[in-house]
Structure 1
Amino acid sequence: MGRVRDIRLLPKAHLHLHFTGSMRPGTLLGLAAGYGVRLPDALSGGEPPRLRATDERGWFRFQRLYDIARSCVRRPEDIQRLVREAAEEDVRDGSGWLEIQVDPSSYATRLGGLIPTLEIILDAAERASRDTGLGIGVLVAANRVKHPLEARTLARLAVRFADRGVVGFGLSNDERRGLARDFDRAFAIARHGGLIAAPHGGELAGPGSVRDCLDDLGARRVGHGVRAAEDPQLLRRLADQGVTCEVCPASNVALGVYDKPEDVPLRTLYEAGVPIALGADDPLLFGSRLAAQYELAREHHGFTDAELADLARQSVRASRAPEDVRRRLLAGIDGWLAAAP
């Protein structure tokens, strides 16, 4: 391939990173020891756990590990540490804007309720941004396996804090469960309040789940969305409407959606004109962060530096970063490409 440019120096935006899953493994070990939480070997062995979530048992194991990790985040200081370290990792990987995704209800019982929890998270994001120079927005996500009324409560909460750093509204957990349209009211509230709709779809479930995100939830971004590659008509629709897929290649392989990195249909989406924002999803469980996703595109899909720069531009354009941040990042991408390898 010859000499190539350093991916970590390529400015980019990171639009798919889950709050608990952003944790450093060492941080989890320290928090667990401090709170007397006994971690299973899969979370304490120093290597990412082996997962295969394409069947119900595999997804249950993934969710159990995630819940154990979440139980180790209990105090405002833990929240601040988690966000600061996620920001530090992103800066190291060349990110200039991060949208971190969180369900505040997961922590509300320990932190005094939904409103105090979101205030703590937003304060942590503001502090981390100030300390690291990374722009940070928060995407509030409802849980697909909970009642849709809870999603409406979260949507109203998210809109209430739109002027404090909340930029979007999502829907996470197993997209094979429940119907997207059950959450249409929550997403209508969020969209009416100026938030971007960014639900999960098209990873564990097929292209129909992506179509449901568009039709029922008004999605402008889809978390994952890779299974859209199985439907050429859906690919054309995503491209024509400019709906971004937040593709997380290492996550797709770790969860067994695809067997090998080269099986992820990254090239299919790209060549169909579907906007893409590469994301790390849950580095704690999948073992790789943002820059590694670009390296995967280069190594396993033959993306040239010009194409990697294009992916970075697509991530910035799909973000909710302020206009001055977007201009700075786009100029930086042009500069990265103009520089000699």
Structure 2
Amino acid sequence: MLPHLHLHLEPQQRKRLQVGLTPAEHRRDPAAFFAAHDVGNRGRLPVSADDLRSFIRQMHEEQRREGVDHVELRLSPRRFVWDGMPLAAFLRVAHTTMESLERPSVRGILLINRDSDEEFVRACTGALADLPATFVGIDLAGDESRYDDTAPFRGLFRAARESGLGVTVHAGEFGHLDGVWRALDELGAQRLGHAVAAARSPSLLKRLGNDGVLVEVSISSNLALGAVDAAHAHPVRTFLDAGVPVCFNTDVPLESGATLPEEMASAARLLHLSVAEVTAVQRKAAAFVFRRPG
């Protein structure tokens, strides 16, 4: 099985394409990237339930063309809720759309933004008890440099673990080492998104290797948004040499312009491996796919 474990729906970028605009680019400017994704941004285009269905199906067709067998799709309800869609409706629409898709199969990761308010976090926590079966994990994402405190999300992630959801956390992409430790120790992360900062700490690398915590690597995205300065500076080799499991991902492909085959080809060049060897690494990541119990 060829999995793709870290992929965002990018509803705002897809909405721009839908209305005839080009996707916005924020090359090497993470502050502008996060500002553009703020629900309060005046230039943001509203999205609907029909958009949610359409965008998931678009993503599915793209992944089929790229030869992917299984997708874990980051789905953030906040912007849809902001535009008037109840949280329960968002979950229901996403579930019924994903449930019908095959080759590749699609499963959802409920993404919570770091700047979410207490009321929204509480609503998401309450929704976990009846979370549709196509949602298999939970993620925390957003601007670590401004919102590095995980305390407001500990109850949510504890409830998610108790519900049998897999836990992945964006950590160490633009933030510091402390954020990676908190993702592990306070939120119970089984996988980490990006984790670029972790490569600077031998003790953290040892922890990731010993505990078998998968790092979801996204070279093209890290370059496009400025998480790393250049391809040769990307720490993926450091992870592999330390025995840390990795997988390759496009993350935000409408932002970076990369497909999964292109991402794996970039990894092959960077690691001085063949594409077949990188593909073998990707297939091993199937062992880290999130599955609900029962």
TM-score by length of 1: 0.78
Structure 2 unmatched runs, 5+: none
Aligned partner (choices 221, 224, 245) of residue 191 of structure 2: 221
- Alpha-carbon separation, structure 2, partners of 1:169 and 1:101: 9
User: Following TM superposition, where does structure 1 have runs of at least 4 consecutive aligned residues deviating by more than 4 angstroms?
Assistant: 21-24, 59-62, 64-70
- 2:19 counterpart residue number: 32
- 2:61 counterpart residue number: 88
Aligned partner (choices 285, 290, 294) of residue 320 of structure 1: 290
Q: 1:189, CA displacement in angstroms?
A: 0.6
Would the aligned equivalents of 1:53 and 1:59 in 2 still touch at CA under 8 Å?
A: yes
The structure carrying a bigger helix percent of its residues is: 1
Q: 1:235, CA displacement in angstroms?
A: 0.5
Would the aligned equivalents of 1:111 and 1:117 in 2 still touch at CA under 8 Å?
A: no
- 2:25 counterpart residue number: 49
Corresponding position: 1:173 with 2:146: no
Would the aligned equivalents of 1:156 and 1:190 in 2 still touch at CA under 8 Å?
A: no
Judged with a 3 Å threshold, the aligned counterparts in structure 2 of structure 1 residues 66 and 137 are, in CA distance, closer, same or farther, namely: farther
Q: Can you list the C-alpha shifts for 1:58-113, whole angstroms capped at 9, x where unaligned?
A: 44555369968962532x33222211111111122221111111121210244531
- 1:185 counterpart residue number: 155
Judged with a 3 Å threshold, the aligned counterparts in structure 2 of structure 1 residues 65 and 281 are, in CA distance, closer, same or farther, namely: farther
- Alpha-carbon separation, structure 2, partners of 1:291 and 1:305: 9
Aligned partner (choices 243, 253, 268) of residue 223 of structure 2: 253
- Alpha-carbon separation, structure 2, partners of 1:68 and 1:277: 36
Corresponding position: 1:155 with 2:145: no
Q: 1:274, CA displacement in angstroms?
A: 0.8
RMSD: 2.6
- 1:77 counterpart residue number: 50
- Alpha-carbon separation, structure 1, partners of 2:142 and 2:292: 29
Q: 1:218, CA displacement in angstroms?
A: 0.5
Q: Percent identity?
A: 28
Aligned partner (choices 262, 279, 282) of residue 309 of structure 1: 279
- Alpha-carbon separation, structure 2, partners of 1:206 and 1:78: 35
Corresponding position: 1:146 with 2:120: no
Q: Can you list the C-alpha shifts for 1:173-197, whole angstroms capped at 9, x where unaligned?
A: 1122131233111100100000011
- 1:332 counterpart residue number: none
Structure 1 unmatched runs, 5+: 1-10, 34-38, 324-341
Aligned length: 292
- 1:8 counterpart residue number: none
Bigger Cα displacement from structure 2, 108-117 vs 267-276 = 108-117
- 1:235 counterpart residue number: 205
- 1:338 counterpart residue number: none
- 1:286 counterpart residue number: 256
SS at match of 1:71: coil
- 2:77 counterpart residue number: 104
The higher radius of gyration belongs to 1
Q: 1:52, CA displacement in angstroms?
A: 2.0
The letter for the 2-side match of 1:83 is I
Q: Can you list the C-alpha shifts for 1:1-29, whole angstroms capped at 9, x where unaligned?
A: xxxxxxxxxx41111111226966xx632
Judged with a 3 Å threshold, the aligned counterparts in structure 2 of structure 1 residues 194 and 321 are, in CA distance, closer, same or farther, namely: closer
The letter for the 1-side match of 2:140 is L
Would the aligned equivalents of 1:168 and 1:195 in 2 still touch at CA under 8 Å?
A: yes
- Alpha-carbon separation, structure 2, partners of 1:157 and 1:285: 30
Corresponding position: 1:264 with 2:234: yes
The letter for the 1-side match of 2:217 is V
Corresponding position: 1:14 with 2:4: yes
Would the aligned equivalents of 1:80 and 1:124 in 2 still touch at CA under 8 Å?
A: yes
- Alpha-carbon separation, structure 1, partners of 2:127 and 2:43: 25
The letter for the 2-side match of 1:116 is A
Q: Can you list the C-alpha shifts for 1:154-208, whole angstroms capped at 9, x where unaligned?
A: 133244224x211001111112213123311110010000001111101001222
Bigger Cα displacement from structure 2, 98-107 vs 312-321 = 312-321
- Alpha-carbon separation, structure 2, partners of 1:272 and 1:139: 27
The letter for the 1-side match of 2:28 is R
Judged with a 3 Å threshold, the aligned counterparts in structure 2 of structure 1 residues 20 and 80 are, in CA distance, closer, same or farther, namely: same
SS at match of 2:19: helix
